[in-house]
Amino acid sequence: MSREEKLQLRKEKKQQKKKKRSEKGPAAEPPEQGAAPEPGQPRVTPHPSSSPTLADGPSDGEKPTGGKSKAELRAERRAKQEAERAQKQAKKAELGQAATPAKPRLTPTEPPTVVKRLPEHVQVDDPAALRKLAKKLERQQVPLRQDYGTKVNLFSHLHQYSRKKPLTQQMSIPSTVIHPAVVRLGLQYSQGIINGSNARCIALLEVFKQLIRDYSTPPNEELSRDLVAKLKPHISFLNQCRPLSVSMGNAIKFLKKEISCLPDTLREEEAKEKLQSTIDNYLREKIVLAAEAISKSAFEKINDHDVILVYGCSSLVNRTLCDAHMQKGRAFRVIVVDSRPRLEGRETLRRLVRKGIHCTYVMINAISYVLPEVSKVLLGAHALLANGSVMSRVGTSQIALVSKAYNVPVLVCCETYKFCERVQTDSFVSNELGMVSVPFFPPGICSLLLRLGSTGHAELSCHSSS
Amino acid sequence: MPGAAERGAELREQMEAFVARLRGGGGRPRSEDTARHTLALLRKIIAHGHWGSAGELMELIRAEGRRMAAAQPSETTVGNMVRRVLKVIREEYGRLRGRSEESDQQESLHKLLTSGGLNEDFNTSYPTLKANVIEAINELLIELEGTTDNIAMQALEHIHSNEVIMTIGYSRTVEAFLKEAARKRKFQVIVAECAPFCQGHEMAVRLSKENIETTVMSDAAIFAVMSRVNKVIIGTKTILANGALIAVSGTHTLALAAKHHSTPLIVCAPMFKLSPQERSWQRSMFTAQCLTTSRQSSLLSSFLTSGVTRLPISTAS
């Protein structure tokens, strides 16, 4: 009982606070309090489908600035609900004590913290989520990307962007909010000039270094807080140009943490120097040194007279093969598998042939033909998920599947900074849809291009199944 | 006789043209067209060729058949048709000899167990044999024409509403199958495009003309998309005696992905694609072919992918 009384006291205090704030102005009222009591009734039986939209409330959406009457009405409604809930609890308390411990947990007034927030990019079919995104981008002065006209139904929960105009045409030159280096980077991403998770991450960090160099703290602001706030519109812009990769996401998280952990005693110049050196360290340790270490241990597995199959273009795999060929002088040959429409295998082919490695080039529908003579498959990864699945370019899981049918061992090379906590069961759950550049199809045909998202379970180093 | 000599010359010309077309050049002919042309040519050989008894006829047919099959070993329809014609000749000969069908079967089984070989000599000549054989071949031709429609008639049994169907490349049998089902049912089709010649695009265009909701995807996404697919329907080039398929490159991957997701796989193929051969295909046979033919070659082009050292064909079992 005392627990219930405490909860009630808390509720009443919060109500008073709300009333005070609503007297000041409705815009100042945090939306969390607005959203929380309304789910009071539905929260008694928590329903998963409603929670994502409710959970979006507490995030950075702005409340419509209605008149004071709206806030007052809401406060009245809340008071009514509280009263009803108090009555219910009193009744239940009379009935039995066993039921009561469960009830308070089901009628919280805090914002729902157990609900998982869905990322925005898998909620494209929800108009509320789209509106929120549009508002957020407007606030940050980042242009919103146009959607494609006819959509593929299978992917209605993902963004399907139009390729007609690049994002930057909607921006003024020079842009006041976005640094020009970031604009250039965004264009390079969206046009596919910079490709591959390592390359994108390195480019991102270099541009951030330049951003930090050109940054100057405005008066009366803390560098650690202001810089993070200044980075946000740039990150949104890059996200709109092309969804962030896992490697980029992890790098950004690291950078934000470093910035916010800066001690206040440092002068601006020192702080910027420190940040630059931190970024350099990150680049060197997580990407360059990691690549060396992986390459060293991977080419132990490459023997003489091996036939190695690679897919697409992975910087790590290319490096491993080149090192094995040049430094250790192993005699092996490579089969490069490629797929339309990006045809990234040609880049791999170019690099390997230049080093003098004997290569064969096939398309992906020929893998059943070449696999009987392959001794190992070497794959790169875009990310490693929390359940052990490997996320990589579309087509990788096919290669793993057919390799298993032929009992060929599959090795996946992946740096640790690409590990992420997501879990995905198949390629539809979350993905990035590319744009197709094929001859015009008459209306009625949708061209489908999955950029990523071929997930498969892989045991790093030995046989794989997918 | 000038008439016979002319006909003989004409026949030889047609044979040469057919063999040359088999060997390559021009568009990819339908298996059905190839079968029909083979039968027509064989009928002409029977009508105008020089032969006396059934045995001689069979030798003649065998020789011509071997030549045609050697021009394009991957086109097994030719061999299948030749075998059917030989069987027709044997049956007609047997009928003329005065044996009934059932006793023939009984005797042949008994023969298999005891003597282990045909002791037919096929040497007696019957004047009506030619006419009977030609009539039987005409029946075969009529049967050929109806195969696609017969397969398409079964479409409604297999395709239900709101299903997602996956297919690969361009198969006219599958196209007819899906079109027939689309008249009554609403479903979606996903087509794998089959690089580098992208026959899937043509298939998608034709299907969408019938207002079927079609999606084209790259071969790399076959496994990625398979989790949403209800059925896989494919066509094939040949069905071997051990149940293996020789089909367009990428079918093996498709079949493995379907097996992994426990998706039913349906193969639409007419009877003349069933081959009694069982050998596993030699790669060397196909590489030799490819080195001699130009890259625009028709038949081979449908099965090969561009390769620097190897030119692969995929088999599915």
What's the rounded mean pLDDT across residues A55-71? 49
Spatial distance between the Cα atoms of A448 and B215, rounded to a whole number of angstroms: 6
Chain B residues in contact with A447 by the CB 8 A cut-off are 215-217
Specify the higher pLDDT residue, A33 or A242.
Answer: A242
B154 Cβ under 8 Å from any chain A Cβ: no
Closest residue by Cα to residue A426 from A52, A155, A216, A159: A155
**Whether residue B271 has pLDDT greater than 80:** yes
Q: Return the top range by mean pLDDT from A61-75, A146-160, A198-212, B87-101.
A: A198-212
Which residues of chain B from 59 to 78 reach within 8 Å of chain A, CB to CB?
none
Q: How confident is the model at residue B314 (pLDDT cuts 50, 70, 90)?
A: very low
A348 Cβ under 8 Å from any chain B Cβ: no
Chain A residue with CA closest to B248: the answer is A365
What's the rounded mean pLDDT across residues A153-180? 72
Whole-number percent of chain A with pLDDT over 70: 73
A266 Cβ under 8 Å from any chain B Cβ: no
**Whether residue B71 has pLDDT greater than 90:** no
Task: Indicate the residue type of A426.
Answer: D
**Contact: B221, A368; criterion CB under 8 Å:** no
Residue B305 parent element (H or E) = none
Spatial distance between the Cα atoms of A447 and B218, rounded to a whole number of angstroms: 9
Please report where in the chains the tokens 């009263």 appear, as a residue. Answer: A83
Q: How confident is the model at residue A374 (pLDDT cuts 50, 70, 90)?
A: very high
The distance of A238 to chain B (nearest Cα, Å) reads 26
**Contact: B219, A154; criterion CB under 8 Å:** no
Pick from A339, A442, A448: which is nearest to B215 by CB?
Answer: A448
Whole-number percent of chain B with pLDDT over 70: 77
Task: Indicate the residue type of B180.
Answer: E
Report pLDDT digits (tens) over B204-237: 999 999 999 999 999 999 998 999 999 999 999 8
User: Across all residues in chain B, what is the average pLDDT?
Assistant: 78
**Whether residue A18 has pLDDT greater than 80:** yes
Q: Which of A90-94, A240-244, A250-254 has the lowest mean pLDDT?
A: A90-94
The first and second tokens of residue B205, run together, are 């265009």
Give B157's DSSP letter. H
Spatial distance between the Cα atoms of B245 and B273, rounded to a whole number of angstroms: 10
Q: What pLDDT is stored for residue A445 in this prediction?
A: 55
Chain A residues in contact with B227 by the CB 8 A cut-off are 426-428
What's the rounded mean pLDDT across residues B45-67? 85
Please report where in the chains the tokens 């006829």 appear, as a residue. Answer: B57
What is the SS3 assignment for A391? strand
Residue A420 parent element (H or E) = none
A406 Cβ under 8 Å from any chain B Cβ: no
Specify the higher pLDDT residue, A342 or A105.
Answer: A342
A340 Cβ under 8 Å from any chain B Cβ: yes
Spatial distance between the Cα atoms of A232 and A385, rounded to a whole number of angstroms: 25
Q: Which of A21-35, A347-361, A406-420 has the lowest mean pLDDT?
A: A21-35
**Contact: A364, B214; criterion CB under 8 Å:** no
Q: Return the top range by mean pLDDT from A105-109, A401-405, B89-93.
A: A401-405
Q: How confident is the model at residue A424 (pLDDT cuts 50, 70, 90)?
A: confident
Give me the phi and psi of B65, to 5 degrees please. -60, -40
A370 Cβ under 8 Å from any chain B Cβ: yes
**Contact: B220, A438; criterion CB under 8 Å:** no
**Whether residue A149 has pLDDT greater than 70:** no
Chain A residues in contact with B283 by the CB 8 A cut-off are 369
ipTM over 0.90: no
**Contact: A450, B201; criterion CB under 8 Å:** no
Q: How confident is the model at residue A379 (pLDDT cuts 50, 70, 90)?
A: very high
B222 Cβ under 8 Å from any chain A Cβ: yes
Pick from A361, A365, A445: which is nearest to B195 by CB?
Answer: A365
For an interface test with A, give the residue of B290, B308, B315 to mutate (most A CBs within 10 A). B308
**Whether residue A262 has pLDDT greater than 90:** no
Crossing angle (nearest 10°) for helices A197-214 and A315-326: 110
What's the rounded mean pLDDT across residues B58-68? 88
Specify the higher pLDDT residue, B84 or B284.
Answer: B84
Q: What pLDDT is stored for residue A119 in this prediction?
A: 73
A449 Cβ under 8 Å from any chain B Cβ: yes
Please report where in the chains the tokens 């744009």 appear, as a residue. Answer: A435
Q: Return the top range by mean pLDDT from A182-186, B49-53, B107-111.
A: A182-186
**Contact: B314, A368; criterion CB under 8 Å:** yes
Chain A residues in contact with B201 by the CB 8 A cut-off are 438-439, 441
Pick from B215, B309, B312: which is nearest to A446 by CB?
Answer: B215
B317 Cβ under 8 Å from any chain A Cβ: no
**Contact: B314, A365; criterion CB under 8 Å:** yes
Quickly list DSSP for A220-237.
T--HHHHHHHHHHHHHHH
**Whether residue A109 has pLDDT greater than 60:** no
Q: How confident is the model at residue A278 (pLDDT cuts 50, 70, 90)?
A: very high
CA angle B256, B257, B259 (to 5 degrees): 65
What's the rounded mean pLDDT across residues A376-399? 91
A271 Cβ under 8 Å from any chain B Cβ: no
**Contact: A360, B252; criterion CB under 8 Å:** no
Chain B residues in contact with A444 by the CB 8 A cut-off are 208, 211, 213-214
A361 Cβ under 8 Å from any chain B Cβ: yes
Spatial distance between the Cα atoms of B174 and B189, rounded to a whole number of angstroms: 11
Specify the higher pLDDT residue, A122 or A62.
Answer: A122
Pick from A369, A370, A427: which is nearest to B224 by CB?
Answer: A427
Chain A residue with CA closest to B217: the answer is A448
Chain B residues in contact with A466 by the CB 8 A cut-off are 223, 260
B225 Cβ under 8 Å from any chain A Cβ: yes
Q: What pLDDT is stored for residue A31 in this prediction?
A: 43
Q: What pLDDT is stored for residue A21 in this prediction?
A: 76
Query: Please, which residues have CB within 8 angstroms of residue B32's CB and are 6 or more apart in sequence?
Result: B144, B147, B148, B172, B270, B272
The reply to whether omega before B2 is within 30° of 0 (cis) is no
Chain B residue with CA closest to A404: the answer is B256
Q: What pLDDT is stored for residue A359 in this prediction?
A: 95
Q: What pLDDT is stored for residue A137 in this prediction?
A: 78
**Whether residue A62 has pLDDT greater than 60:** no
User: Across all residues in chain A, what is the average pLDDT?
Assistant: 77
Q: How confident is the model at residue A464 (pLDDT cuts 50, 70, 90)?
A: very low
Chain A residues in contact with B193 by the CB 8 A cut-off are 340
Which residues of chain B from 226 to 245 reach within 8 Å of chain A, CB to CB?
227-228
Report pLDDT digits (tens) over A318-334: 999 999 998 777 889 99
Spatial distance between the Cα atoms of B3 and B7, rounded to a whole number of angstroms: 6
Q: What pLDDT is stored for residue A47 in this prediction?
A: 40
Specify the higher pLDDT residue, B308 or A94.
Answer: A94
User: Terminus-to-terminus CA distance in chain B, angstroms?
Assistant: 53
What's the rounded mean pLDDT across residues A386-402? 91
What's the rounded mean pLDDT across residues B122-130? 76
* Beta pairing, strands A376-380 & A383-384: unpaired
The distance of B285 to chain A (nearest Cα, Å) reads 14
Q: What pLDDT is stored for residue B4 in this prediction?
A: 67
Closest residue by Cα to residue B261 from A466, A452, A112: A466
Quickly list DSSP for A297-318.
HHTTS--TTEEEEEES--HHHH
For an interface test with B, give the residue of A160, A309, A369 to mutate (most B CBs within 10 A). A369
What's the rounded mean pLDDT across residues A371-380? 94
Please report where in the chains the tokens 């009539």 appear, as a residue. Answer: B135
The distance of B296 to chain A (nearest Cα, Å) reads 18
Q: What pLDDT is stored for residue B300 in this prediction?
A: 32
A429 Cβ under 8 Å from any chain B Cβ: no
A199 Cβ under 8 Å from any chain B Cβ: no
Q: What pLDDT is stored for residue A110 in this prediction?
A: 53
Chain A residue with CA closest to B227: the answer is A426
**Contact: A363, B309; criterion CB under 8 Å:** no
What is the SS3 assignment for B181? helix
B314 Cβ under 8 Å from any chain A Cβ: yes
**Contact: B216, A447; criterion CB under 8 Å:** yes
Spatial distance between the Cα atoms of A384 and B133, rounded to a whole number of angstroms: 68
**Whether residue A435 has pLDDT greater than 90:** no
Spatial distance between the Cα atoms of A201 and A205, rounded to a whole number of angstroms: 6
For an interface test with B, give the residue of A364, A365, A394 to mutate (most B CBs within 10 A). A365
**Whether residue A418 has pLDDT greater than 60:** yes
